Structure 1
Amino acid sequence: MSKQTDMDVSKCKVMVFCDYYLPGYKGGGPVTTIRNIVTRLGNEIDFSIFTRSNDLGETIAYSDVPLDVWHPFFGASVRYATPKSLTVSNVRLILRQKKPDVVYINSLFSRKFSLLPLFAARLERRQMRVVIAPRGELSPGALALKRTRKKIYLTTLRATGLWRHVVWQASSQFEEMDIRSVMGKAATVVVAPDLPSIPLEPPPRQKKAAGKAQIVFVGRISPMKNLAGAINVLRSLSGNIVFSIIGPVEDQNYWAICQRELAKLPENIRVDVLGPQSPETVLASLSRFDAFFLPSLGENYGHVVFESLGAGCPVIISNRTPWRGLAGRGVGMDVPLESPEAMSAALQQIIDMDENEHLKMRTAARAYAQSLLADDKSVQASRALFDMGCELKRERF
Structure 2
Amino acid sequence: MKKKVLILNGQYLPGYKGGGPIQSCANMVENLADQFDFYVLTSDRDFKAESSYENIKINQWNRVGSAEVFYMSQDNQTLSGFKKILNETDFDVLYLNGFFSPIFTIKPLLLRRLGQLKKSKVILTPRGDFTGGLENKKLKKYTYIFLCKLIGLYSKLLWHATSDLEERDIQVKFKNANTFTVPNLPTKYIPKLAALDKKPGELRMVFISRIFPKKNLKYALEILQQIKTGNIVFDIYGPMEDRAYWLECEAVIKGIPNNVKVTYKGEIPHSEINHIFEQYHTFFFPTLGENYGHVIVEAMMNNCLPLLSKGVTPWDDYHGNGGYVEELSNRESFINIINSLILIGNQEFRSLTAKNEVYVTRKINCEEDIKEYCINL
Whole-angstrom distance in 1 between the partners of 2:76 and 2:366: 41
Match of 1:210 in 2: 200
Match of 2:119 in 1: 127
User: How far off its partner does 1:244 sit?
Assistant: 0.7
AA at the equivalent of 2:170:
I
User: How far off its partner does 1:327 sit?
Assistant: 2.4
Please state whether the residue corresponding to 1:119 is helix, strand or coil: helix
Tell me which of 13, 21, 25 is aligned to 2:16.
25
Match of 1:159 in 2: 150
Describe the shift of the 1:272–1:125 C-alpha distance in structure 2 as closer, same or farther (beyond 3 A).
closer
User: How far off its partner does 1:205 sit?
Assistant: 3.0
Q: What per-residue deviation string (whole Å, max 9, x for no partner) do you get for residues 199-256 of structure 1?
A: 4665773420111100001100000100001100111122100001011111111111
TM-score norm. by structure 1 comes to 0.91
Alignment of 1:109-258 (within 5 A): 109-122=100-113, 123-124=115-116, 126-139=118-131, 141-184=132-175, 186-199=176-189, 202=192, 205-237=195-227, 238-258=229-249
Match of 1:326 in 2: 318
User: How far off its partner does 1:159 sit?
Assistant: 0.8
Tell me which of 365, 369, 373 is aligned to 2:360.
369
Does the Cα contact within 8 Å between 1:313 and 1:365 map onto a contact in 2?
A: no
AA at the equivalent of 1:293:
F
Whole-angstrom distance in 1 between the partners of 2:238 and 2:192: 21
Match of 1:395 in 2: none
Does the Cα contact within 8 Å between 2:86 and 2:117 map onto a contact in 1?
A: no
What are the ranges of 5 or more consecutive residues in structure 2 without an aligned counterpart?
A: none
Residue 277 (structure 1) aligned with residue 268 (structure 2): yes
Whole-angstrom distance in 1 between the partners of 2:185 and 2:348: 30
Does the Cα contact within 8 Å between 1:200 and 1:284 map onto a contact in 2?
A: no
Whole-angstrom distance in 2 between the partners of 1:328 and 1:363: 12
AA at the equivalent of 2:86:
L
Describe the shift of the 1:343–1:362 C-alpha distance in structure 2 as closer, same or farther (beyond 3 A).
same
Whole-angstrom distance in 1 between the partners of 2:224 and 2:133: 24
Q: What per-residue deviation string (whole Å, max 9, x for no partner) do you get for residues 310-364 of structure 1?
A: 11111100011000122232x1111112222212222222111111000011122
Does the Cα contact within 8 Å between 1:18 and 1:51 map onto a contact in 2?
A: yes
Give the number of the structure whose residues are more often helix, by fraction: 1
Tell me which of 3, 7, 18 is aligned to 1:12.
3
Report percent identity of matched pairs: 30
AA at the equivalent of 1:84:
D
Please state whether the residue corresponding to 1:96 is helix, strand or coil: helix
Match of 2:94 in 1: 103
User: How far off its partner does 1:378 sit?
Assistant: 2.0
User: How far off its partner does 1:384 sit?
Assistant: 2.2
Residue 342 (structure 1) aligned with residue 356 (structure 2): no
Whole-angstrom distance in 1 between the partners of 2:305 and 2:374: 31
Does the Cα contact within 8 Å between 2:40 and 2:69 map onto a contact in 1?
A: yes
Q: What per-residue deviation string (whole Å, max 9, x for no partner) do you get for residues 251-307 of structure 1?
A: 111111111211211100011211111112111221221111100000000111111
Whole-angstrom distance in 2 between the partners of 1:25 and 1:89: 28
User: How far off its partner does 1:125 sit?
Assistant: 5.2
What are the ranges of 5 or more consecutive residues in structure 1 without an aligned counterpart?
A: 1-9, 387-397
AA at the equivalent of 1:101:
D
User: How far off its partner does 1:42 sit?
Assistant: 1.3
Residue 261 (structure 1) aligned with residue 252 (structure 2): yes
Does the Cα contact within 8 Å between 1:200 and 1:283 map onto a contact in 2?
A: no
User: How far off its partner does 1:36 sit?
Assistant: 0.3
Q: Which moved more, 1:209-218 or 1:126-135?
A: 126-135
Describe the shift of the 1:23–1:258 C-alpha distance in structure 2 as closer, same or farther (beyond 3 A).
same
Whole-angstrom distance in 2 between the partners of 1:146 and 1:258: 20
Instruction: Give 4+ residue runs of structure 1 displaced > 6 Å after superposition.
Output: none
Does the Cα contact within 8 Å between 1:92 and 1:121 map onto a contact in 2?
A: no
Please state whether the residue corresponding to 1:14 is helix, strand or coil: strand
Whole-angstrom distance in 2 between the partners of 1:208 and 1:222: 31
Residue 76 (structure 1) aligned with residue 48 (structure 2): no
Q: CA RMSD in A?
A: 1.5
Please state whether the residue corresponding to 1:163 is helix, strand or coil: coil
Describe the shift of the 1:40–1:324 C-alpha distance in structure 2 as closer, same or farther (beyond 3 A).
same
Match of 1:3 in 2: none
User: How far off its partner does 1:385 sit?
Assistant: 2.4
Match of 2:85 in 1: 94
